[in-house]
Amino acid sequence: MRLRLLALAAEEELSIGELAELLEENQSNISRHAAALRQAGLLQDRREGTRTLVRASEAVAQDVVVADALASGRALCERDGSLGRVSTVLQAREAPGREFFSRPSGALPSALMPLETGAHLFALGALLPRRTIALDAGTGDGRLLDVLAPVYQHVIAIDRSEVQLALARERVAARGFANVTLLGCEIDSPHLRRALMRSGDRHSRFGADAVFASRVLHHSPQPAKAVVQLASLCAPGGQLVLVDYARHDDEKMREQADAWLGFDPAELRRFARAAGLEDAHVTSIPASLRGDGPDAHLPWQVLIATRAATHEPKRLSSSIEKGRKDG
């Protein structure tokens, strides 16, 4: 049991409940075995709201004897099928979000900004050195388009929920945004990559000058992987702008399909480094700017990082997700 548990925790950071499902054991038994492995220095855990998540410690990769035990555990997990079911467990993390954003949400909310704000944003756009293409990843009902469309020459907005895209289309039509392209797809879609390919005078270039992901990451089953994917959509020298919550303990947000209760600033910077981004910095967003929605009481923050012109993102491995640490 402990060999199998260790192998699964080395594959992915998993909650006690997820490990119980994979190993077909009750949670108290899994917690008991995990405690023994933790005392031996082979597992690390962290609290995330009411959940406890565990991952293999660095000692697993450094100790030859433990590495041999890990190989035995992987073989056991391959035979019983639990290793192959990890992807299914990760997909289950996404299920509440898919269902939540597929619900009909009523009419498009009326604009709260002054009607002339678009003109001011249009003027501010001239100050940006690069504003050919912006990507709005997870556009939802398109609220961010009110800001991006007046600033960038072309905005590509994507969402996987047709319900949300219908609201975004309504917004685009009402605002007369002729420079916005809406796509129903995931961030790893070949269709999106084709849309981000642009032709220059001498050769074709790929990527957006800025990739925006506003309050999206906490819905992702694998946030580190999502940052890698978002970074790969930036043009060389382009920037990733990621707005999300700082770590909090409001379990009620899980009813809003939140997979994670925010992220530490150091955690976001670590994600950015693993994705090959540079100059990553995280800034808190003042409470007065968080609106009046159901998440206005949470601490918001923004990560801004740059994709270097010559540096390629590191190959994503399970160690990126396992490396999520407090502080």
Nearest to 215 by CA among 97, 96, 317: 97
Backbone angles phi, psi at 164, to 5 degrees: -70, -40
Q: Which helix (H) or strand (E) holds 236?
A: strand 234-245
Q: Please give the Cα distance from 242 to 258 (Å, whole number).
A: 16
8 A C-beta contact, residue 277 and residue 306: yes
Q: How confident is the model at residue 319 (pLDDT cuts 50, 70, 90)?
A: very low
pTM over 0.85: no
- Mean pLDDT of the 44-58 span: 89
8 A C-beta contact, residue 8 and residue 19: yes
Whole-angstrom CA distances from 157 to 59, 72, 165, 253 are: 43, 46, 9, 25
- Residue 200 has what pLDDT? 52
**pLDDT tens digit sequence for 256-270:** 889 999 999 999 999
Strand order from edge to edge, sheet including 14-15? 14-15, 51-56, 43-48
Q: Which helix (H) or strand (E) holds 200?
A: none
- Residue 321 has what pLDDT? 45
**pLDDT tens digit sequence for 267-310:** 999 999 999 999 999 999 999 999 888 999 999 999 999 999 86
- Residue 49 has what pLDDT? 86
Q: Please give the Cα distance from 146 to 173 (Å, whole number).
A: 12
Give 129's contacts (C-beta < 8 A, 6+ positions apart): none
Give 113's contacts (C-beta < 8 A, 6+ positions apart): 146
Cβ neighbours, 10 Å, residue 161: 22
Say which residue the tokens 């030859």 belong to.
64
Q: In angstroms, what is the C-alpha Rg of the chain?
A: 21
Whole-angstrom CA distances from 197 to 7, 150, 240, 241, 295 are: 40, 22, 17, 20, 35
- Mean pLDDT of the 172-176 span: 94
Q: Please give the Cα distance from 121 to 15 (Å, whole number).
A: 44
- Residue 316 has what pLDDT? 45
Q: What is the mean pLDDT of the chain?
A: 89
- Residue 101 has what pLDDT? 77
8 A C-beta contact, residue 164 and residue 140: yes
**pLDDT tens digit sequence for 128-138:** 889 999 999 99
Domains of the chain: 2-84 (1.10.10.10), 117-322 (3.40.50.150)
CA 87 to chain CA mean position, Å:
16
Q: Please give the Cα distance from 13 to 19 (Å, whole number).
A: 10
* One-letter amino acid of 301: Q
Q: How confident is the model at residue 61 (pLDDT cuts 50, 70, 90)?
A: confident
Q: Which helix (H) or strand (E) holds 280?
A: strand 277-285
**pLDDT tens digit sequence for 186-232:** 999 999 999 999 755 455 689 999 999 999 999 999 999 999 999 99
Burial of 264: CB neighbours in 10 Å, binned 0-12, 13-18, 19+: middle
**% of the chain residues with pLDDT over 70:** 90
108-117, 157-166, 272-281, 291-300: least confidently modelled range? 108-117
**pLDDT tens digit sequence for 73-90:** 999 999 999 999 999 998
Residue 73 is encoded by which pair of tokens? Answer: 């555990």
107-113 long-range contacts, CB within 8 A, separation 24+: 108/141, 108/167, 108/170, 108/171, 108/174, 109/141, 111/146, 113/146
- Residue 248 has what pLDDT? 96
8 A C-beta contact, residue 322 and residue 262: no
- Residue 171 has what pLDDT? 94
64-68, 170-174, 189-193: least confidently modelled range? 64-68
Residue 43 is encoded by which pair of tokens? Answer: 């597992």
